[in-house]
C-alpha cells in the first residue's frame, strides 16, 4: 500500500508540474491538456470495456455531445466556462443513461454494433442540423471564458486552462476510483469475469451494465466539454465512429484493465499523433496501427503492464 501511495503521489506531482518540465522535453502545455482530455474519455470507456467487459465503439457519441452541450451554452445561454462544462457533462451522461436500456441486454458483437449505430445517429444529426450545430462546418462562435473568483478574473490561457482541465481530471479520477473500490465496482468486475455466474449470485447484470454505460457516457461528456473549450470548436467528427476507435486504441495501448492504463495510452497516442505527424504527416496512423497490433498480440496488459512487469510491480 505504501508503494502504491508513493507512485500515486509521484504521478500527481508530475501532473501538477507539467507546465514547468514539459517544455524541457520539447512539449507544450496545450498538448498536455489534450492528453488529459483524451485520457479522461478513455478512462470512462475503460469502466465499460476494461472493468465490465463490454466492448463499446460509441464513446465518441458522448464525447461529441459533451462538446456540443458546452459550445451551445457559450453561444446561446451563458458566458461561464463552469456552466459550459456542467452542461456538456450532463448532456453526455443523460444521453447514455437514456440509451442504456437499448444496449444493456446485448452482448459481445451485438453490444458493440448497437453502440456504433447509436453513435452514428448522433453524428448524422449533428451533420444535418445546420441551424443548431453548424452542420459539416462545425459549431463556432464561442471561446472559453475567464474564471471569476469574486473580484479576481483568471483568463484561461494555456497554462491556467491546463490546471482547469487537471482539476476536472482529478475530480473524475477520484470518483472513478471510489466507484471501482465500492460494491458497484466489484460487481462490474464480477460481470467481466463471468456474466452467468454473476447473475447466479443475484447480481442484476443488465442494470449494472446500464450503470457502467451511463457512467462512461458521463465521463465522456465531461471530456468532450473540456475538448470544446480547448479548441473553441466542435465538429461532427468528434461524434464519428473513428473517434470512438481512437478511444478504444488508447485504452488497449495503455492497459484496459488498469486504472491508469488509459493515461499511458493517451500519452503514447497523442504524442505520436503530434510529433510523428509533424515529420511524416501521412504515416503516424500506420505507426499507431503497428504498435496496436504488437500490443494486442504480445502484451495483452498494455504498456502499463510491461512497465509494471519490468519494475517488478505486477
Q: pLDDT per residue over 210-221, tens digit each?
A: 999 999 999 999
Q: pLDDT tier at 308 (50, 70, 90 boundaries)?
A: confident
Compute the C-alpha angle 218/106/260, nearest 5°. 40
Report d(CA 218, CA 90) in Å as an integer: 7
Q: pLDDT tier at 312 (50, 70, 90 boundaries)?
A: low
Query: CA neighbours within 13 Å on the CB side: how many for 238?
Result: 31
Whole-prediction pTM: 0.94
Report the pLDDT value the prediction gives residue 313, as an integer from 0 to 100. Answer: 60
Phi, psi of 234 (to 5 degrees): -135, 135
297 with 305: CB under 8 angstroms?
Answer: no
Torsion (CA) 253, 258, 260, 265 in degrees, nearest 10: 0
Q: Are strands 147-149 and 152-154 parallel, antiparallel or unpaired?
A: antiparallel
Amino acid at each position: 500500500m505504501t508503494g502504491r501511495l508513493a507512485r500515486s503521489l509521484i504521478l500527481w506531482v508530475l501532473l501538477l508540474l507539467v507546465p514547468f518540465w514539459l517544455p524541457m522535453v520539447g512539449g507544450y502545455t496545450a498538448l498536455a491538456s489534450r492528453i488529459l482530455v483524451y485520457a479522461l474519455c478513455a478512462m470512462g470507456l475503460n469502466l465499460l470495456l476494461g472493468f465490465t467487459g463490454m466492448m463499446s465503439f460509441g464513446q465518441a457519441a458522448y464525447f461529441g455531445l459533451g462538446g456540443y452541450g458546452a459550445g451551445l451554452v457559450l453561444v446561446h445561454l451563458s458566458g461561464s466556462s463552469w456552466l459550459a462544462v456542467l452542461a456538456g457533462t450532463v448532456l453526455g451522461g443523460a444521453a447514455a443513461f437514456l440509451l442504456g436500456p437499448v444496449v444493456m441486454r446485448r452482448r459481445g458483437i451485438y453490444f458493440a454494433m448497437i453502440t456504433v449505430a447509436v453513435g452514428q445517429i448522433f453524428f448524422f444529426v449533428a451533420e444535418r442540423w445546420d441551424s443548431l450545430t453548424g452542420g459539416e462546418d462545425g459549431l463556432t462562435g464561442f471561446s472559453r471564458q475567464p474564471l471569476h473568483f469574486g473580484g479576481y478574473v483568471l483568463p484561461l490561457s494555456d497554462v491556467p486552462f491546463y490546471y482547469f482541465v487537471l482539476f476536472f481530471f482529478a475530480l473524475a479520477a477520484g470518483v472513478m476510483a471510489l466507484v471501482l473500490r465500492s460494491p458497484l465496482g466489484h460487481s462490474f468486475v464480477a460481470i467481466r469475469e463471468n456474466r452467468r455466474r454473476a447473475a447466479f449470485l443475484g447480481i442484476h447484470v443488465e442494470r449494472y451494465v446500464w450503470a457502467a454505460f451511463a457512467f462512461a457516457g458521463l465521463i465522456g461528456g465531461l471530456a468532450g466539454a473540456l475538448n470544446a473549450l480547448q479548441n473553441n470548436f466542435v465538429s461532427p467528427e468528434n461524434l464519428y465512429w473513428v473517434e470512438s476507435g481512437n478511444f478504444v486504441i488508447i485504452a488497449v495501448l495503455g492497459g484496459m484493465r488498469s486504472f491508469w492504463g488509459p493515461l499511458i495510452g493517451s500519452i503514447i497516442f497523442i504524442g505520436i499523433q503530434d510529433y510523428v505527424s509533424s515529420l511524416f504527416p501521412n504515416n503516424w496512423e500506420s505507426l499507431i496501427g503497428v504498435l496496436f497490433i504488437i500490443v494486442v498480440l504480445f502484451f495483452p496488459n498494455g504498456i502499463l503492464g510491461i512497465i509494471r512487469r519490468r519494475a517488478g510491480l505486477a
